[in-house]
Every structure is written in structure tokens, then in C-alpha cells.
């Protein structure tokens, strides 16, 4: 798929509320919004799922902007959240805050219900009380679960998740649809596929592998390394999100209930895959890290982990049709940029 010339939506003066602003995607998105003249209110719990120091370092890049403000709080304990929403009166809400991680959902399921279900309900209720022009929220490729048909299409069913994390994300899509239908909240769900890049999450494989290789420690390869992922570089993710902001869904009176699809609805609600549409073998990703570091990895082969899937691949035809863009950064280019950031950030 070819991409047209860069598109920069007119965001000057727009009030955008970003939850999870100290997170990986939220930080990059806030930077991009501020660069385009938006006024951004960030909200984040700064929880300890991974080192809060990295979240604070991301925030330190944002706070010098005069058009950025930040509130710390938890959506499921909504006092600070409701006060911020009422005072800021956002035109656009981009909800990225969540309890992330597939494997951690096996250890602490309550955290996912609190953050991903109760937290999202707080977002929807705020948008109900203070109508917004567009609610964009994070879903995940994990909703596809046991689906073996690739590439994964938004028009396929997504009712067999293999992790509680994936189940909460599918629940978010259903919750957003119901609020879009009942209260005319234009809502767009984004099914992210293995997002990676500078300032990324330390629990992700590419980050753990880089750390281990530099330390001379073995890297753990589950399913004996026979995994493929649709690695999606962060800059491509942000471009897709910026392009979708002006595309608030409209009601679809012609929706065909005899051929139901999660991608569309009669309500003003749509779902898009955000993926590189090019699944990469795990060994190719490791080779890219080895090349960027100039060091070889020591491999430890392990069995498949509960909640994992062997391969992911995004069908991005709907995204391309909607906004004329599809992610395309190669794993070699993306990993090289990540490793350069990692070595500079950690002095490694």
C-alpha cells in the first residue's frame, strides 16, 4: 500500500484530553498534538506496573510546553478525573490509560477490571455528561484471540479472547458502542498491534531483549522462538491517530444486521486495526537488535506461555480507505531508532 504526502490536521487551539499521557503511546501522542498547536490536558495514574521513573522522564519532556497540563489520578476513583473533565471541557478525548500486559492479567486480574472496565466506564460517563466531538480509545489486537484467519480483519468476529486483558479490550469496544448508540458519542476504537519504539514499555520483548543482550544474559524465546508479530513503529501509530481525529464516526442507517461486523455499526462507532500489516518472525526482530547493538544474543528456548498467540497480522484496508495511510516502517529501521534511544537514555 502506498502512502500519500504527510497530513497534518488543523489542531491549533483544540482542547484534547489524553489519558495515559505518561505512557508510551500517550507521551508520543501528546508531543505530536502540542507540536500542532493543540492544548493538551494529560491524565495518568503513574502506577508501578513498570518503573515510574520512565513515566516521570516522559512527563519531564511534556511539562515545559505552556499548552500542557497534567493531573495524576485513577479513573476508577474518579474525583480528580471528573474535576479535570468539567474544568477543561475537552473537545476531543483520547483514552489510552489501561492496565497493559497479557501475562500479568494471569497474576492480577482485578487490576484489569478496575483500570480497563471501571476506568473506561468513568471515561464514557464523563463524555455523556460533557459531550465531545470525538472519543478515540485504545483497544488491542488481543481481541482476536483464537482467530486463526490472517490477516486479522475488523470484519471478523472477535469473541474468543485467550487472556483477560483481551477480554477487557473487547468489552471496551462493546461499552463504547452502547454509549455511542444511547448518547450519540462519536467513538473510534483502535486495535493496536505490538507497538514499539523509543520511550517504549520495558515489559515488551524488544526492550527486554536489548537489555539482556547488553548485559550478556540469555533472552527468553517462548514457543521455542516460533512466533510472528505485526510490529508497528510508534511514529506510524501516531500518524494514524492524528489522521483519525477529524474523522468522527457518523451514524450508519444502512448497517446490515444480517451480516454483523465489529468494524461498523448503526451507531456512530467504528473500529480500526493499527498495524504494520507485515508479520515479522521473532528471529528477524532479534537479528535487527543484534545488528543495531553489534552483539549476538544468547537464546533460551521455552514453551508457549498461557494467553499468547503464535502470530498476529493486521488487515489495514479500512484504515487506508478512511484516512489514506497505513503503517510501513520496517523492523530494521524501527529497531535501529529504538536502540539508539535506549543507549542514549541508559548510557549503555
What is the per-residue DSSP string for 289-328?
HHHHHT-PPEEEE-PPPTT--SB--B--HHHHHHHS----
Gap between the Cα atoms of 156 and 318, Å rounded: 13
Q: For residue 133, what is its C-alpha cell?
A: 466531538
Gap between the Cα atoms of 172 and 112, Å rounded: 12
Sign of CA dihedral 16, 20, 22, 24: negative
Mark whether 196 is an active-site residue. Answer: no
What is the per-residue DSSP string for 11-50?
-TT-EEEEETTTSHHHHHHHHHHHHTT-EEEEEE---SSS
Catalytic residue among 165, 196, 207, 342: 165
Any alpha helices (H) in the chain, and if so which ranges?
Answer: 24-35, 52-62, 79-88, 104-107, 109-112, 119-129, 164-183, 205-215, 234-244, 282-293, 317-323, 331-346
Gap between the Cα atoms of 325 and 292, Å rounded: 28
Distance of CA 57 to the CA centre of its chain: 19
Active site residues: 165
Amino acid at each position: 500500500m502506498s502512502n500519500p504526502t504527510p497530513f497534518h490536521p488543523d489542531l491549533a487551539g483544540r482542547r484534547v484530553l489524553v489519558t495515559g499521557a505518561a505512557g508510551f503511546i500517550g507521551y508520543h501522542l501528546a508531543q505530536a498534538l502540542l507540536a500542532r498547536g493543540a492544548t493538551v490536558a494529560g491524565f495518568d495514574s503513574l502506577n508501578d506496573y513498570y518503573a515510574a521513573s520512565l513515566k516521570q522522564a516522559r512527563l519531564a519532556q511534556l511539562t515545559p510546553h505552556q499548552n500542557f497540563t497534567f493531573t495524576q489520578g485513577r479513573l476508577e476513583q474518579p474525583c480528580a478525573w471528573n474535576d479535570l473533565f468539567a474544568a477543561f471541557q475537552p473537545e476531543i478525548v483520547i483514552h489510552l490509560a489501561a492496565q497493559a500486559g497479557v501475562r500479568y492479567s494471569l497474576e492480577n486480574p482485578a487490576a484489569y477490571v478496575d483500570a480497563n472496565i471501571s476506568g473506561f466506564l468513568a471515561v464514557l460517563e464523563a463524555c455523556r455528561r460533557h459531550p465531545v466531538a470525538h472519543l478515540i480509545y485504545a483497544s488491542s489486537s488481543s481481541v482476536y484471540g483464537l482467530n486463526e484467519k490472517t490477516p486479522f480483519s475488523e470484519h471478523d468476529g472477535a469473541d474468543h479472547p485467550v487472556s483477560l486483558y483481551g477480554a477487557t479490550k473487547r468489552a471496551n469496544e462493546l461499552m463504547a458502542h452502547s454509549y455511542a448508540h444511547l448518547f450519540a458519542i462519536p467513538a473510534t476504537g483502535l486495535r493496536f498491534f505490538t507497538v514499539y519504539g523509543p520511550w517504549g514499555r520495558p515489559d515488551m520483548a524488544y526492550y527486554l531483549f536489548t537489555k539482556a543482550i547488553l548485559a550478556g544474559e540469555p533472552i527468553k524465546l517462548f514457543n521455542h522462538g516460533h512466533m510472528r508479530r505485526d510490529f508497528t513503529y510508534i511514529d506510524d501509530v501516531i500518524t494514524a491517530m492524528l489522521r483519525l481525529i477529524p474523522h468522527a464516526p457518523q451514524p450508519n442507517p444502512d448497517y446490515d444486521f444480517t451480516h454483523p461486523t465489529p468494524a461498523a455499526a448503526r451507531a456512530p462507532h467504528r473500529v480500526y486495526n493499527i498495524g504494520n500489516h507485515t508479520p515479522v518472525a521473532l528471529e528477524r526482530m532479534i537479528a535487527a537488535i543484534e545488528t543495531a547493538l553489534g552483539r549476538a544474543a544468547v537464546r533460551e528456548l521455552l514453551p508457549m506461555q498461557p494467553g499468547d498467540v503464535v502470530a498476529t497480522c493486521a488487515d489495514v484496508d479500512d484504515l487506508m480507505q478512511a484516512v489514506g495511510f497505513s503503517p510501513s516502517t520496517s523492523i530494521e529501521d524501527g529497531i535501529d531508532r529504538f536502540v539508539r534511544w535506549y543507549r542514549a537514555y541508559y548510557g549503555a
